[in-house]
Amino acid sequence: MRIAIFGKQFSDVFRNSCSNLFRKLHQHDTEIIIYKPFYEFLVGNIDVKPKADGFFERKEDLKDIDLFLSIGGDGTILEAVTFVRDSSIPIVGINSGRLGFLADISKEEIDSAIDHIFKGNYKTSTLDLLQLHTENNLFGDMNFALNELAVHRRDSASMITIHAYLNGEFLNSYWADGLIVATAVGSTAYSLSVGGPIIHPKSQSLVITPIAPHNLTVRPIVVPNDMNITLKVEGRADKYLATLDSRSQIFDDGLELNIKKADFKIKVIDLPGINFNSTLRNKLMWGADKRNY
């Protein structure tokens, strides 16, 4: 098996678990290529020196990869998506931090997770992304997001107005600090923190969630993800901020933001005992009431 390993910096608390992960991988017939900046961090900062069969720094370096292993948190998974893109390489996330909703394998589960993978005891599933289209190609070829598109005010205390359209039909004008269009996967991220609903990842939906709306009658709305969503922003400023997952760009007043479901999906590994329902209970403390147990 040829595995690409991607990661970001983590605290010394995860050092032993990281060493154990590489030791476990080398017990199998594995060819490992590592994201070069991550390898340099491992060697230079925490004195972990994994045997590497090669390195990568761009998506073009990922040749004949069977599995993309992300070490970090959910933000690391989102960045991993920018490497994998439409290659259909399955991603699995190992959580080196605290929460980890997408990176759902804890350090205590590393041994069993690797055993399941090499025994083929897993399933794969796909996750929908959204894609942003603008006249000026605002994000270039990185115009997709696994979690959300967010529009924000910039350098101003004033609210902005976001006019939203579904398939060309006017939906609403949001007076707010901003607006989020989130995928079902992203419904448990930024959208949830500002009052949006939790959506099952297989529901094929998007949720439009205002950020601090001026009108209390405005609430999040769930729409089918095959709808085209158009946003037009206006306000006292002439520049605003758009983010796709962790990537941000400033855009000018008058630019239309057109959002639709991306024409590719991300493939992920589903291991035994780890699923959306258990993640809700364990990570978000869903139903954390002693009467339930």
- pLDDT tens digits, residue range 44-67? 888 889 999 999 999 999 999 999
Strand intervals (E) in 40-190: 54-56, 67-72, 91-95, 123-133, 144-145, 148-152, 160-166, 169-176, 178-183
Kindly indicate whether the domain formed by 129-263 is annotated with CATH number 2.120.10.30: no
- From the list 64, 66, 74, 226, the catalytic residue is 74
Q: How far apart are CA 106 and CA 203, in angstroms?
A: 26
HSE toward the beta carbon, residue 48, CA cutoff 13 A? 23
Identify the bridge partners of residue 258 per DSSP, sorted by sequence position: 133, 230
Where helices occur in 183-283 by DSSP H, the ranges are 190-193, 276-283
Ramachandran sector of residue 167 (left: φ over 0; alpha: ψ -120 to 50; beta: rest): left
- pLDDT tens digits, residue range 220-262? 999 999 999 999 999 988 899 999 998 999 999 989 999 999 9
Kindly indicate whether the domain formed by 2-122+271-292 is annotated with CATH number 1.10.10.10: no
Ramachandran sector of residue 232 (left: φ over 0; alpha: ψ -120 to 50; beta: rest): beta
What are the residue ranges of CATH 3.40.50.10330 in the chain? 2-122+271-292
User: How many C-beta atoms lie closer than 10 Å to residue 152's C-beta?
Assistant: 17
Indicate if the pLDDT at residue 165 is higher than 70.
Answer: yes
What are the residue ranges of CATH 2.60.200.30 in the chain? 129-263
Q: How far apart are CA 256 and CA 19, in angstroms?
A: 48
Q: What percent of the chain has pLDDT over 70?
A: 98
Q: What percent of the chain has pLDDT over 90?
A: 76
- pLDDT at position 278 is 79
74 is catalytic: yes
